[in-house]
Structure 1
Amino acid sequence: MPAPNKIARRSLLAGSAAFLNVSLATPLATPLAASLVASLVTFLATPVAVAAPRPSATPPAQMSTVGGARLGQAGTQVDLGAGAPVLPKGLTARSWIVADAETGDVLAAHNAHWRLPPASTLKMLFADTVLPKFPKSTEHKVVRSDLAGVGAGSSMVGVKENETYSVHDLWLGVFLRSGNDAVHVLSAMNDGVEETVKDMQAHAEELQALDTQVVSPDGYDAPEQVSSAYDLTLFARSGLQKKDFREYCSTVRAKFPGETKKVKGKKVRGTFEIQNTNRLLSGDTDVSVYDGIAGVKNGNTTKAGATFTGVAERGGRVLLVTVMNPQKNEHNEVYKETGKLFDWGFAAAGKVRPVGELVPPKSAAPAGGQPGATAPAAEAGGGTAQGAADGGSSAKPAGASATGGSSGAGIALAITGGLLVLLSGGVFLINRRWPLPDLVRRRTPRP
């Protein structure tokens, strides 16, 4: 059945056509009148793109409780203990979360399960799904169909038709420049965009990221494509189990293959430098490289606003912070708010009671357990919840030095211990510590 707006438009079109026929048949008809009516008919006959509905201005009354009942509540959730610092002021993000990457404890959250457009942070799920399928040395010659469907105005790394690229090159393009062209080429290698979307959705469900609906593999704005701060944090935590994922997301700058040109009768292919757009990793005029940052991915689109998930380490503690859509309209605001949450998280760790947990994948859940059930730690203690007016945050990209052309000195961090389960090329903990072997991070002197 046609949509009501289409029916109304057809009625107007039919009425206008009838009016045109009658008016032209009368002696009063003039060329001007005929022109005006004809223009109206043409306008009404032209298809109009109907914009997808924007997310609601406020979080829904009921949200998912995966990871704990308090994570399904609107507003800011935190349970401060003795000596714990209060959450930073001036946070404006629609949704954010601060979690311990190893234990999975959620230290604080704000609308953690609010389903919002994810922008390019969805590329973390893309990478976690597709990266294990192709060795980094694999080479692929790009054909025109590989680049079909790349959205207008997409961020690009500069992939060219008829040029050959290694998988390593393409992943650098995905992480450093958020290149949708590189995403589409890797999707083509993975039997196409449609198959890749199915794979990503299946992997999201395996990770218990149930707020996520995948429509495009690159995070480009699309109707019904949503995720949440909670889910994005799960994607980062899973991806960081993979060595190559850690390398790519922590690389500050690298060389990327250029276009082959003829120079003095010989074919020559040069390179050009690409730099990570994650400002917590690469820095900017108003944002410094964050001390201990080690990834992961930033994003920005019209519907999503600025989004970011970052991982950082200090004093042997590894934190994950995700920020979605800060409402304060300032340059690099997402990074500034993310930095504030990282600072708070490192100062508050060990002084706050968890309000929830990052759940393990379904296949890593304890036998007979209930994956995604309310976390006992989140429900015990009877702590207070700061109101929604206190919270909202923007995210800061994370970055670090790594191999493959990145700047800065890489430092390997080996974290051991815990009951591990090998799963799909990554390691996941079961209710114990979660290691980040060889985590590469960027260190700056502390005052």
Structure 2
Amino acid sequence: MKTISRTAAALAAAAVLFVAAGPVAAQEPDPPVETSTPFSTPNTDDCPHATSPPPAIDLSEVPKPGETAPTPLPVPADAVGGEQLGYCGVVVPDGAPALPEDISATGWVLSDLDSGDVIAAKDPHGRYRPASTIKILLALVALDELDLNTTVVATAEDANAEGSAVGIGKGGVYSNFQLMQGLVMASGNDAAHALSAQMGGDDATVAKMNAKARSLGALDTRTATPSGLDGPGMSSSAYDLALFFRAAMENPTFARLISTETVQFPGFPKDPNIPDDIDRPGFTLSNDNQLLYNYDGAVGGKTGYTDDARQTFVGGADKNGRRLAVTIMKGDVLPIRPWEQAARLLDYGFALPPGTSVGTLVPPESVREVTSTRTAAPTLASPPDTPSAAGERETSLEEGGDTAIRIGIAVVGGLVVIGLLLWARQLNRRR
């Protein structure tokens, strides 16, 4: 067989590529780069966080000496809350209007607190760090276990707890109800420490929080610290936070706590071991959730932030007897703050008719243990034209068949081109 020239080989290769890829002109050009846009919403269509949160940027999740990092929680074969909630991209009802443009959160869930309907979502089961929004879960455990009228004397360990603080001082006397106010209204890690100390300490409290999460059907959640500080294995999801908030809002005490704007909080005595120390007077404690002050019908919520978790937020509102909630994970303050993003999504939800749903917040009695798991793709990919994940898998198989056909056509086309080139060369020689 004679060797084909380099030019002929290049032409043949180009023909093969053309046949296999199809006409390039039919593809849409890349959109222009908008240099004025100050943010971009992360694309989660390929399920980058199906099993674990994004990599940590600090040493907060490095295990203690002698310990190992826990393995990721299993991903249920059937998405909790319905098949559509197994998708990782944006999930909206059929015929729904476009979502607000200012939502930069990586994952979020918009839900109905009363019916349990999930109205819309983005990466609802994607796993992220909850930061202080996990204090809702701590509040659920504490409300079940502690007498709110009991008073405790704060320790130095309580006062020196790492992170945000309500302002507890060593020797201060606080009721558990006041500690709950500091926990929910001001996200006090010092209050979280004082509460968890009464429940057996941090490790015991974390175990109780994880058990409570499982009982509510929150299978994406593993708490590492009572307060929400990052730690090895810490994860949750926007869906799980919606479960926690709905369960908490069924408790009248919690509902009263998060809707309180201001309250008087106790001071604490001077430390006799510190020269010239003075008594600290009581002060006015203000709720740190701006949605409560700025959104009509707001019922309150919970804020959160760590370097690894970024901005997290939970909030809800009641309009004409209809209560909706928004949970946001791995957000940012661009282009607007998380509570403002939540407000946009609440407006979106209230504009849709009751009963609009892409899934449901499961009731605790329907929760089952994880007996089988699935891989991150393709069953967790963004929803195709048909809402069925089974349909997506079938489409993938069909596309595989089409690819095989295209490859076959390409090979045949390449051989035809080569044959024509050789035939033309032979004719030239005869002439």
Q: TM-score, normalised by structure 1?
A: 0.63
Specify the alignment match of 1:72 in structure 2. Answer: 86
Match for residue 184 of structure 1 among 193, 206, 215: 193
The reply on whether 1:113 has 2:119 as its aligned counterpart is: no
Q: 1:64 to 1:303 in 2, by over 3 A?
A: farther
Q: Distance in 1 between matches of 2:60 and 2:312?
A: 21
Shift of 1:316: 1.5
Preserved contact between residue 158 and residue 168 of structure 2 (Cα < 8 Å): no
The reply on whether 1:343 has 2:347 as its aligned counterpart is: yes
Specify the alignment match of 1:243 in structure 2. Answer: 252
| SS of structure 2 residue aligned to 1:226 | coil
Preserved contact between residue 117 and residue 226 of structure 1 (Cα < 8 Å): yes
Aligned pairs for 1:123-272 within 5 A: 123-146=135-158, 150-151=161-162, 154-260=163-269, 270-272=281-283
Aligned pairs for 1:320-331 within 5 A: 320-327=325-332, 329-330=334-335
Q: Distance in 1 between matches of 2:155 and 2:84?
A: 49
Q: Distance in 2 between matches of 1:316 and 1:327?
A: 31
| SS of structure 2 residue aligned to 1:160 | coil
Question: Which residue type is aligned with residue 206 of structure 1?
Answer: S
The reply on whether 1:302 has 2:307 as its aligned counterpart is: yes
Q: 1:141 to 1:64 in 2, by over 3 A?
A: farther
Q: Distance in 1 between matches of 2:86 and 2:222?
A: 18
Q: Distance in 1 between matches of 2:115 and 2:159?
A: 41
Preserved contact between residue 95 and residue 324 of structure 1 (Cα < 8 Å): yes
Specify the alignment match of 1:314 in structure 2. Answer: 319
Q: 1:78 to 1:184 in 2, by over 3 A?
A: same
Q: Distance in 2 between matches of 1:63 and 1:256?
A: 47
Shift of 1:138: 0.9
Specify the alignment match of 2:28 in structure 1. Answer: none
Q: Distance in 2 between matches of 1:96 and 1:158?
A: 31
Specify the alignment match of 1:292 in structure 2. Answer: 297
Shift of 1:269: 6.6
Whose helix proportion is higher, 1 or 2? 2
Q: Distance in 2 between matches of 1:260 and 1:290?
A: 38
Q: 1:324 to 1:139 in 2, by over 3 A?
A: same
| SS of structure 2 residue aligned to 1:80 | coil
Shift of 1:257: 0.6
| SS of structure 1 residue aligned to 2:268 | strand
Q: Distance in 2 between matches of 1:65 and 1:338?
A: 24
Shift of 1:208: 0.7
Question: Which residue type is aligned with residue 111 of structure 1?
Answer: D
Question: Which residue type is aligned with residue 365 of structure 1?
Answer: S
Aligned pairs for 1:29-108 within 5 A: 50=59, 52=61, 65-81=79-95, 84-108=96-120
Q: Distance in 2 between matches of 1:258 and 1:208?
A: 40
Q: Deviations over 1:3-50 (max 9, x none)?
A: xxxxxxxxxxxxxxxxxxxxxxxxxxxxxxxxxxxxxxxxxxxxxx85
| SS of structure 2 residue aligned to 1:136 | coil
Q: Distance in 2 between matches of 1:206 and 1:185?
A: 25
Specify the alignment match of 1:357 in structure 2. Answer: 360
Preserved contact between residue 62 and residue 73 of structure 1 (Cα < 8 Å): no
Q: 1:225 to 1:137 in 2, by over 3 A?
A: same
Structure 1 spans left out of the alignment, 5+ residues? 1-48, 54-59, 283-288, 372-378, 386-447
Shift of 1:200: 0.4
Q: Distance in 2 between matches of 1:134 and 1:238?
A: 17
> How many aligned residue pairs are there?
305
Q: Distance in 1 between matches of 2:224 and 2:61?
A: 13
Aligned-residue CA RMSD (Å)? 3.2
Preserved contact between residue 252 and residue 275 of structure 1 (Cα < 8 Å): yes
Preserved contact between residue 80 and residue 383 of structure 1 (Cα < 8 Å): no
Question: Which residue type is aligned with residue 308 of structure 2?
Answer: K
What percentage of aligned pairs have identical amino acids?
38
Shift of 1:136: 2.0
| SS of structure 1 residue aligned to 2:257 | helix
Q: Distance in 2 between matches of 1:344 and 1:118?
A: 24
Preserved contact between residue 63 and residue 113 of structure 1 (Cα < 8 Å): no
Question: Which residue type is aligned with residue 315 of structure 1?
Answer: N
Preserved contact between residue 62 and residue 72 of structure 1 (Cα < 8 Å): no
Shift of 1:384: 11
Preserved contact between residue 223 and residue 235 of structure 2 (Cα < 8 Å): yes
Preserved contact between residue 171 and residue 269 of structure 2 (Cα < 8 Å): no
Shift of 1:346: 0.2
Specify the alignment match of 1:275 in structure 2. Answer: 286
Shift of 1:355: 1.1
Q: Distance in 1 between matches of 2:202 and 2:305?
A: 21
Q: Distance in 2 between matches of 1:320 and 1:328?
A: 20
